[in-house]
Copies of this chain bind each other. A is one copy, B any other.
Amino acid sequence: MTKVTIYVTLRESVVDPQGIATTDALQKMGFEEVKSVRVGKLIELEMDGSEQAVEARVKEMCDELLINKVIEDYRFEIGEVAGK
């Protein structure tokens, strides 16, 4: 079983209302040092197949379903649990 972690972020040019609301809330709570917050998605897959086979398939899945390329960017790591 191969683990894949996909990091999905909003494109720089896209306004992020959730991030803006979070920034405002943090600043009002006293975290004035926070200048910006952007909220993206972390998609963790478990799938059959070798690391090589998986790479091409993950790209297909991102293109066909997982990513909205108009507003989102992504990259992924194979064989890791996010950030470990």
What is the interface of chain A, defined by CB distance below 8 A to chain B?
1, 5, 7-9, 22, 25-26, 29, 31, 33-49, 54, 57, 60-61, 64-66, 75, 77, 82-83
Check B75 against A47 for contact (C-beta < 8 Å).
Answer: no
Residues of B within 8 A of A40 (CB): 41-44, 82
Check A66 against B31 for contact (C-beta < 8 Å).
Answer: no
Check B41 against A41 for contact (C-beta < 8 Å).
Answer: yes
How many copies of the shown chain assemble into the complex? 2
Nearest 6 CB-CB pairings of A with B: A40-B42, A33-B48, A36-B46, A38-B44, A42-B42, A33-B47
Given contacts A42-B40, A42-B42, A65-B25, contact A57 B31 (CB under 8 A): yes
